[in-house]
Amino acid sequence: MQVKDLILGIDTGGTYTDAVVFAPGDKKVIATAKVATNHRQLADSVTRALETVLQEGDIAPEKLARLAISTTLATNAVVEGRGSRVGLFIIGTTRPFDLPAEAIRFLDGGHDHLGREVKPLDLGALVDAVALMRPYTDAYAVCAAMSMENPAHEKVAAKAIELVDPKPVFCSYQVSSRAGIRERAATALINARLLPEMQSFVAAVKHALKLLGASPKVSMIRGDGSYLPLDEAVRRAAETVASGPAASIVFGSCKVPGQTALVVDVGGTTTDISRIENGRPVIDQQGSLIGGWQTHVAAVDTYTVGIGGDSRVVVTRKGKLLVGPLRVVPVCMDRHAPPADTWLRPATAGVCILKGKQTDQNDTTDPVMQKVAKAGAMSFEQLLAGLSMAEPLLEARLKHLVHGRKIKVVGFTPTDALHVLGRIELGDCQRAIIAARTFADALGIEVEQFCRRVLDVTCDGIQQAVLDYTFRAETGKTLSGFFPRRTESRLLELGVKLLVPLLGLGAAAGELLPQVAERLGTELILPGHCQVGSALGAALAFAG
């Protein structure tokens, strides 16, 4: 092995950050690591994963030739509404746009389909608008009619903006060469919004590498499975939004060369489904839907459902068992929550809320934080009763506090059910048994029967997602939308057989997907290192 012959792949998911050291010459995995994802500081997760995998493999940092990163940084920022305040300029049309800009200004100008100027650019109006926007914006985005044929007005506008306000300017011609002014504007705008998130992340990665004494060539995985140099990712951050599923499908493509298969990545938070046709990833060339806005960002064709190993289990007042979409800390993985039989009851939210690790001055005035800090641990119902706040508002506030690590939410999950049934040993099984018994006693069934039911419902959700994805690929519609009560029909039983194999990835894939594959009458492929498949896929994308 050469001194600098190793590739480090890192994937930051909603629950875990995985790392893999891969030797491309030998086509061999040298070491793997899995650490909890820090949602407040994703860069911290990358740093810890990097340190852990080097220690695990007894690898000197200077042996790393390349570092390939797959991250949910861009996805989370868009979904949570974080990022720069952007001033958006639209040149050559006055059509109203519903885009997440701080301010939007429409200007005369633009070109026709042959690249000929339709109207001169109104520079006076542009300069006046920048002066007004300047105190309220962090960056600017510019999109002109037919700029993919002639970007002259975008270039002139960018230069004029920089002369008035020296902040970053993002032009649509730099990120899209396709028709569709709304989609090009959205693509440029989202790149501008993600600027501070990506700048911070890139700086943190560079700092971590410097501390470790490593100097690899660093790239980020794009949503289509290719990669960007780290510094270029700052200006093209929108292209990394689907990088997690892209890394997964690169891994899958290497494991089933020349074949057609569905790649099912079962994580702690979500399950992602994508497709390989004749050994190649299926890419949605029309552009991704990011945060509700259609863009021109090419990405793997992916379907995501909010169900995974750490999804919350709830039993409704009518006795129906539900799994997901909320992610919680499994009972077995948290030693600070009180025993589950003191707070967990069926027909409730089924969660215990505890103070998290991050604090600041605002916590002393936040009514939710005040209640949680005083009590130490509270059920959702106790917290709701002590606040003059509507239930949906409290749920939204808790979600925000969880992302900021101000609080943590503990509940029973499929991971707990697997512990009770003796199929995994990662945490405190006794705590999981206490929680399961609370549910089982209320339902009048045995503990093991309850846990098997939890896993059945979890597999139901994954199976339905697989069917929806494949049905959409064939018809343009989802099966659940076409026949929403398929499993409850008194008159019709609809059987489906999947004609291609499932290729499983993720920590829970080996426990949940065999049942899903059996129900669908197909083969399940669980390749070596599938538990860290996305991180390995990131490395393989860089290895070529």
Domain boundaries, the chain: 6-78+198-305+532-543, 86-193, 311-451
pLDDT tens digits for 360-408?
Answer: 655 667 888 888 888 888 888 888 888 888 888 888 788 778 776 788 8
Q: Which range has the top average pLDDT, 202-206, 318-322, 473-477, 492-496?
A: 318-322
SS3 state at 423: coil
User: Cα–Cα distance between 301 and 223 in angstroms, integer?
Assistant: 9
Question: Tokens 């509507």 appear where?
Answer: 390
**What DSSP string describes 305-360?**
ES-STTEEEEE-TTS-EEEEEEE-EEGGG-SSSPPGGGT--TTS--EEEEE-S---
The answer to whether residues 99 and 295 touch, using CB atoms and an 8 Å cutoff, is no
For residue 448, is pLDDT > 60? yes
Where residue 159 falls among pLDDT bands split at 50, 70, 90? very high
Question: Tokens 């009514």 appear where?
Answer: 367
Where residue 496 falls among pLDDT bands split at 50, 70, 90? confident
The answer to whether residues 257 and 279 touch, using CB atoms and an 8 Å cutoff, is yes
Task: State both tokens at 105.
Answer: 């200004």
Side-chain half-sphere of 123: how many Cα atoms within 13 Å? 13
For residue 517, is pLDDT > 60? yes
User: What's the pTM?
Assistant: 0.81
The pLDDT of residue 171 is: 93
For residue 3, is pLDDT > 60? no
User: Cα–Cα distance between 220 and 197 in angstroms, integer?
Assistant: 14
For residue 1, is pLDDT > 60? no
Q: Which range has the top average pLDDT, 133-142, 175-184, 359-368, 376-385?
A: 133-142
The pLDDT of residue 359 is: 61
- H/E stretch holding 18 reads strand 16-23
- Residue (of 454, 402, 410) closest to 428 by Cα position: 410
Task: Give the fold, CATH level 3, of 6-78+198-305+532-543.
Answer: Nucleotidyltransferase; domain 5 (3.30.420)
Where residue 348 falls among pLDDT bands split at 50, 70, 90? confident
The pLDDT of residue 461 is: 93
Q: What is the mean pLDDT of residues 169-197?
A: 88
For residue 80, is pLDDT > 70? no
The pLDDT of residue 245 is: 87
User: Cα–Cα distance between 111 and 199 in angstroms, integer?
Assistant: 33
Where residue 39 falls among pLDDT bands split at 50, 70, 90? low
Please state whether the peptide bond connecting residue 166 to the residue before it is cis, i.e. omega within 30 degrees of 0.
no
pLDDT tens digits for 278-325?
Answer: 989 888 877 776 666 777 878 888 888 888 899 999 988 888 899 988
Task: Say which residue, 364 or 457, is predicted with more confidence.
Answer: 457
Residue 260, Cβ density class (10 Å: 0-12 exposed, 13-18 middle, ≥19 buried): middle
Percent of the chain with pLDDT over 90: 43
User: Cα–Cα distance between 288 and 281 in angstroms, integer?
Assistant: 15
What's the 3-state SS for 287-307? Answer: CCEECCEECCCCEECEEEECC
What's the 3-state SS for 477-510? Answer: CCHHHHCCCHHHCCCCCCCCCCCCCEEEECCCHH
- Residue (of 200, 101, 96, 203) closest to 142 by Cα position: 101
- Residue (of 453, 447, 414) closest to 332 by Cα position: 414
- Tell me the β-bridge partners of 67: 8, 218
- Tell me the β-bridge partners of 300: 283
Cα dihedral 202, 207, 210, 211, rounded to 10, equals -140
Residue 232, Cβ density class (10 Å: 0-12 exposed, 13-18 middle, ≥19 buried): middle
The answer to whether residues 35 and 535 touch, using CB atoms and an 8 Å cutoff, is no
For residue 73, is pLDDT > 80? no
SS3 state at 413: coil
Burial 280-311 (b: 16+ CB within 10 A, else e): ebbbbeebbebbebebbbbbbbbbbbbbbbbb
Where residue 133 falls among pLDDT bands split at 50, 70, 90? very high
User: Cα–Cα distance between 86 and 168 in angstroms, integer?
Assistant: 10
Q: Output 522-527 pairs: Cβ under 8 A, ≥24 positions apart.
A: 522/497, 522/498, 525/255, 525/256, 525/261, 525/501, 527/251, 527/255, 527/503
Where residue 2 falls among pLDDT bands split at 50, 70, 90? very low
The sign one gets for the Cα dihedral 110, 112, 117, 120 is negative
The pLDDT of residue 131 is: 93
The pLDDT of residue 292 is: 65
